[in-house]
């Protein structure tokens, strides 16, 4: 029944997505109805699925149940292949970057707007003309791309399959997501857990919406992260470090996992040096196009690092506290926003190192520590788009924490920002709705942590 409901909700989203095309103004779009549907799907998921998995984990017919899980999850993804991306247009940048990379260009060198201004007598100018509506709909066209080189390779592959095709890109995402599922199952087998827990990822409505309706590229990084963790769990740290370098080449945040992955080599200096050298060499090689593109005022990476912030309740509070502290210290010339970002980065780096101090006691311990690190990243990030919550989604199979299950239901409230902006009341979202998103998540995580501490004390 849950599988049928999942497919029905995906079909409803596909039908409703027609009302979110470029021919409509945001004020004409049924944003509130969309959010209500996504929240309802998230509530059904987080309230019904975990108890059902617990009740079924000892069943003899697990193979049949896994067939149901895989088929229903795949069907929900396939239903969205032809849907209109709802309130998201990042995929336009993917299609443009893929075209530039496919013809041998460097997406970090020229912004889309600058490419259009080059004129049809240049290769990029002709590509801008050929791109049609894709080139005209890229967000922040004055900025060069922010997406790392491995992601660029995926964009280029989609372009080679079918130029300027969202369907080709989505098909590639499905392949990546199937790889993610396979790696989750392998890790569950490694720790002796029921494969049914993979449903917490494969049937996650937020994952399905953000990766297959919105077509976000985060599906590319997840299998690379899980592959690095699986290789590390099998004591193949050098190969794991190489895999992690490619994960960092798809999205920068997996670099936080490096201390955990290399921890077993602490007493083996030669192997540690070899693993670290391979990681650094691959990372530098992948970073070469970014460096060659330059870090000027039009760099998307620089702009993102300096000012991207959305849907966060915690970070603006940290920024406000930083402003008061800096004023008290007489450092009014120091940017509080930059100071808060540096503080968050240092906190995450410190947590990564702290989690790597003790020896790792098996695969489950490794996954538990990685889960804590990725959870902290999602919770502390200045930009908290709903597709960033997908970074933790694979770890729900190993650590089904209630706070992140609840986030599946509350993260879609982000889309109300479009509703309030269209109504001329953006402050209502910024000052109130963001707290509705995050207070239940933090509360549930705190209650769970206190409960675990109490049970440990009693034991």
Choose between 172 and 304: higher pLDDT. Answer: 172
pLDDT at 196 exceeding the cut of 90: yes
- Quick one: pLDDT at residue 246? 97
> pLDDT class for 332, splitting at 50, 70, 90?
confident
Tokens of 341: 């970002």
Choose between 305 and 219: higher pLDDT. Answer: 219
Give me the phi and psi of 383, to 5 degrees please: -100, 120
Stretch among 43-52, 116-125, 183-192, 284-293 having the lowest mean pLDDT: 116-125
pLDDT at 220 exceeding the cut of 90: yes
- Quick one: pLDDT at residue 100? 95
Nearest alpha carbon to residue 376 among 345, 422, 339: 345
pLDDT in tens, 222-277: 999 999 999 999 999 999 999 999 999 999 999 999 999 999 999 899 999 999 99
Q: How far apart are CA 338 and CA 306, in angstroms?
A: 7
Residue with tokens 């990725």: 374
Q: Which residues contact 53 (CB under 8 A, 6 or more apart)?
A: 194, 196, 197, 199, 200
Tokens of 349: 């780096």
Residue with tokens 């976000």: 216
pLDDT at 58 exceeding the cut of 80: no
Tokens of 390: 């997908």
Q: How far apart are CA 105 and CA 119, in angstroms?
A: 16
The domain ranges of the chain are: 2-109+144-458
| pTM confidence score | 0.95
Question: Which residues sit opposite 383 in a β-bridge?
Answer: 310
Q: Report yes or no: 229 and 187 within 8 Å, Cβ to Cβ.
A: yes
Nearest alpha carbon to residue 116 among 131, 101, 104: 131
Q: How far apart are CA 29 and CA 18, in angstroms?
A: 10
> pLDDT class for 323, splitting at 50, 70, 90?
confident
- Quick one: pLDDT at residue 277? 95
3-state SS track over the chain: CHHHHHHHHHHHHHHHHHHHCCCCCHHHCCHHHHHHHHHHHHHHHHHHHHHHHHHHCCCCCHHHHHHHHHHHHHHHHHHHHHCCCCCCCHHHHHHHHHHHHHCCCCCCCCCHHHHHHCCCCCHHHHHHHHHCHHHHCCCCCCCCCCCCHHHHHHHHHHHHHCCCCHHHHHHHHHHHHHHHHHHHHHHHHHHCCCHHHHHHHHCCHHHHHHHHHCCCCHHHHHHHHHHHHHHHHCCCHHHHHHHHHHHHCCCCHHHHHHHHHHHHHCCCHHHHHHHHHHHHHHHHHHHHHHHHHCCCCCCHHHHHHHHCCECCCHHHHHHHHHHHHHHHCCCCCCCHHHHHHHHHHHHHHHHHHHCCCCCCCCHHHHHHHHHHHHHHHHHHCCECCHHHHHHCHHHHHCCCCHHHHHHHHHHHHHHHHHHHHHCCCHHHHHHHHHHHHHHHHHHHHHHHHHHHHHHHHHC
pLDDT in tens, 150-191: 999 999 999 999 999 999 999 999 999 999 999 999 999 999
Q: How far apart are CA 91 and CA 84, in angstroms?
A: 11
Burial of 456 (0-12, 13-18, 19+ CB in 10 A): exposed
- Quick one: pLDDT at residue 308? 80
Give me the phi and psi of 315, to 5 degrees please: -65, -45
Other Cβ atoms less than 10 A from the Cβ of 389: the count is 27
Nearest alpha carbon to residue 177 among 132, 222, 139: 222
CA distances from 17 to 5, 202, 203, 422, 449 (A): 18, 22, 20, 18, 39
Q: How far apart are CA 9 and CA 146, in angstroms?
A: 32
Using alpha carbons only, give the angle 39, 254, 90 rounded to the nearest 5 degrees: 50
């Amino acid at each position: 029944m849950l599988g049928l409901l999942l497919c029905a909700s995906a079909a409803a989203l596909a039908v409703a997505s027609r009302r979110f095309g470029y021919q409509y103004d945001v004020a004409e779009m049924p944003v509130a109805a969309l959010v209500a549907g996504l929240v309802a799907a998230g509530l059904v998921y987080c309230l019904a699925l975990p108890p059902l998995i617990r009740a079924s984990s000892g069943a003899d017919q697990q193979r049949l149940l896994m067939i149901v899980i895989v088929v229903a999850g795949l069907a929900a993804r396939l239903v969205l292949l032809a849907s209109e991306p709802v309130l998201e247009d990042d995929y336009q940048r993917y299609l443009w970057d893929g075209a530039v990379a496919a013809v041998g260009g460097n997406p970090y060198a020229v912004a889309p707007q600058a490419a259009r201004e080059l004129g049809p007598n240049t290769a990029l100018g002709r590509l801008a003309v050929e791109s049609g509506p894709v080139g005209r709909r890229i967000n922040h066209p004055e900025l060069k791309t922010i997406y790392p080189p491995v992601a660029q390779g995926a964009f280029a592959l989609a372009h080679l399959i079918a130029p300027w095709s969202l369907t080709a890109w989505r098909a590639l995402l499905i392949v990546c997501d199937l790889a993610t599922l396979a790696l989750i199952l392998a890790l569950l087998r490694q720790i002796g857990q029921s494969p049914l827990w993979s449903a917490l990822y494969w049937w996650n409505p937020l994952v399905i919406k953000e990766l297959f309706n919105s077509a976000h590229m985060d599906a590319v990084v997840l299998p690379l992260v899980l592959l690095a963790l699986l290789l590390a769990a099998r004591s193949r740290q050098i190969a794991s470090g190489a895999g992690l370098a490619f994960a960092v080449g798809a999205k920068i945040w997996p670099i936080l996992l490096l201390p955990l992955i290399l921890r077993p080599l602490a007493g083996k200096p030669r192997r540690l040096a070899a693993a670290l050298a391979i990681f650094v060499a691959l990372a530098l090689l992948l970073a070469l196009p970014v460096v060659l593109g330059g870090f000027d005022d039009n760099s998307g990476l620089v702009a993102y690092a300096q000012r991207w912030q959305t849907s966060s309740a915690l970070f603006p509070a940290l920024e406000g506290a930083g402003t008061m502290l800096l004023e008290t210290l007489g450092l009014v010339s120091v940017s509080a926003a930059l100071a808060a970002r540096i503080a968050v980065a240092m906190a995450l780096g410190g947590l990564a190192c702290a989690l790597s101090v003790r020896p790792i006691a098996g695969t489950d311990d490794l996954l538990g520590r990685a889960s804590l690190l990725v959870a902290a990243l999602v919770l502390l990030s200045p930009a908290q788009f709903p597709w960033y919550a997908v970074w933790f989604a694979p770890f729900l199979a190993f650590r089904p924490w209630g706070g992140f299950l609840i986030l599946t239901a509350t993260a879609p409230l982000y889309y109300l920002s479009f509703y309030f902006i269209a109504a001329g009341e953006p402050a209502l979202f910024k000052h109130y709705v963001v707290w509705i998103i995050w207070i239940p998540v933090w509360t549930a995580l705190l209650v769970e942590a206190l409960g675990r501490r109490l049970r440990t004390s009693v034991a």
